[in-house]
Structure 1
């Protein structure tokens, strides 16, 4: 009896092992070919390039590298005394233009009182002078507005809530208008972007729950699918000088799946987790329960 059971036990053990191997193979196939997950994920954020609207000497830098700022905080100041003098000159130009206009109006009114005693040509010249001086005053007022705006913009403020990064600006530096002075990482735009194979897009839907594991961080982050990229670059196609497409005629039998960026909005971040832009993340999209 025992001799009969031993081969049966071996057959059963072999069948169990084969069944387990099949189940593991199916699990591995689903895990790597079907389930929507990727190790190719990173923390991303919008980087605000801070540039002054007016050129000049940097007189004050009021932030330090890696400092957290909020909207309205002063970042640096550009040559305020020079623009204060320009505003004072604009005020003086307005006063001069106003005085000249008043004189022209008095002369025009005197012509009306004298009547025919003043030549018609002289009267017309005085009327034209009033119009010219009125335009000159309007131009001076406009110039004063520009000078005031330039003075206001010598103080560069933070437009977002974020962190100053890679700061390399110092008092005494000269900076041109439109030149990048520093960068701010927008804290309100921090997100995770995962690059999924196109074969897995069928299991990815906007709003689906997501689990994110950062490299070196044991605690998981929670989020949801915010959006799926609308397009990626096609390296096989270029545009020629006549604007016709130039398609590479070669074709490889082994075709690698393209990777599509998927944006993840974080909804739950454990306290103390450093959301540093560029950190590597494993992104797993959870299956949604059908109702």
Structure 2
């Protein structure tokens, strides 16, 4: 009986050791072979919308959180002043062209009558012709500038995106160069995961990534597009003599730096609900996992497995 107990006790110990080794292997594989982080965020470029011309806003064509396409009209600056400027520039150009025609006629006549006209008159006619040509060029440029101002009075979306909070109202005065609206560039939607520097050797451009946004049950997939080339060194400052000043560090525990890794979401993925700033968990897939379905195929596969 005692021998049976010893055998059973030894077997249990061996099984426990094996299970512990398996757990250690699983944890090592989980964190090292597939680098992952819960410190990730949804990111997108924010485009500040300004006007190139100043004037009163006569119409606002968008509301908060409205989706727009590149080229859609956002708001309109009063065009009356710019229409008048175009008309004035056109009139000046017509006058300059008339002056050019007369100057060319005079120059041609003096060259034909060279023997009867003094050299000074010929040179003066040539000079007047060159001046008239320059004035036409200047007025053409002025007309193009006036037309450009008229066109820029209609402020359009520079990218595909979503208009954020709109506080602009008709009657407000738009100043050239001053931001009036903000536009979330939906084409730049991406995930940025902040991985520990000890995991970087397992992360490469082109690696596949699995993404789960906090509060969402669906899994997204993407591709690593870049690993940042530099991070701020908070321990080093440049002193007044332009020499580095290193702050003393008495910490017993050295914490790994977090390195941003940018991930492009698959184009066919369902990005509804991906609001820039939301938190996300990111896992870099190993070579065998890189064959997992992506985008819409991944969503369908997840739904099918859930039903089964």
| TM-score (normalised: structure 1) | 0.86
1:24 is paired with a residue whose SS is helix
Count of matched residue pairs: 289
Q: 1:247 to 1:106 in 2, by over 3 A?
A: same
8 Å CA contact 2:33–2:286 kept in 1: the answer is: no
Unaligned runs of 5+ in 2: 290-308
Q: 1:5 to 1:86 in 2, by over 3 A?
A: same
Q: 1:127 to 1:4 in 2, by over 3 A?
A: closer
2:179 is paired with a residue whose SS is coil
Correspondence for 1:191: 190
Correspondence for 1:87: 86
Q: 1:143 to 1:241 in 2, by over 3 A?
A: farther
Shift of 1:37: 0.4
Shift of 1:149: 1.4
Shift of 1:56: 2.0
C-alpha separation between the residues in 2 aligned to 1:242 and 1:211?
A: 48
Q: 1:19 to 1:106 in 2, by over 3 A?
A: closer
8 Å CA contact 1:34–1:199 kept in 2: the answer is: no
Q: 1:122 to 1:271 in 2, by over 3 A?
A: closer
Counterpart mapping for 1:132-171 below 5 A: 132-171=131-170
Unaligned runs of 5+ in 1: none
Q: 1:214 to 1:122 in 2, by over 3 A?
A: same
1:148 is paired with a residue whose SS is helix
78-87 vs 178-187, which moves further: 178-187
| TM-score (normalised: structure 2) | 0.81
C-alpha separation between the residues in 2 aligned to 1:113 and 1:283?
A: 84
C-alpha separation between the residues in 2 aligned to 1:35 and 1:253?
A: 28
Deviations 1:139-189 (A, max 9, x none): 111111111111111122223222112222222222222222222222222
Counterpart mapping for 1:24-43 below 5 A: 24-28=23-27, 30-32=29-31, 35-43=34-42
Counterpart mapping for 1:1-291 below 5 A: 1=1, 4-28=3-27, 30-32=29-31, 35-108=34-107, 111=110, 120-240=119-239, 243-250=242-249, 252-267=251-266, 271=270, 273-289=272-288
C-alpha separation between the residues in 1 aligned to 2:169 and 2:57?
A: 7
Q: 1:35 to 1:114 in 2, by over 3 A?
A: closer
RMSD between superposed Cα atoms in Å: 2.8
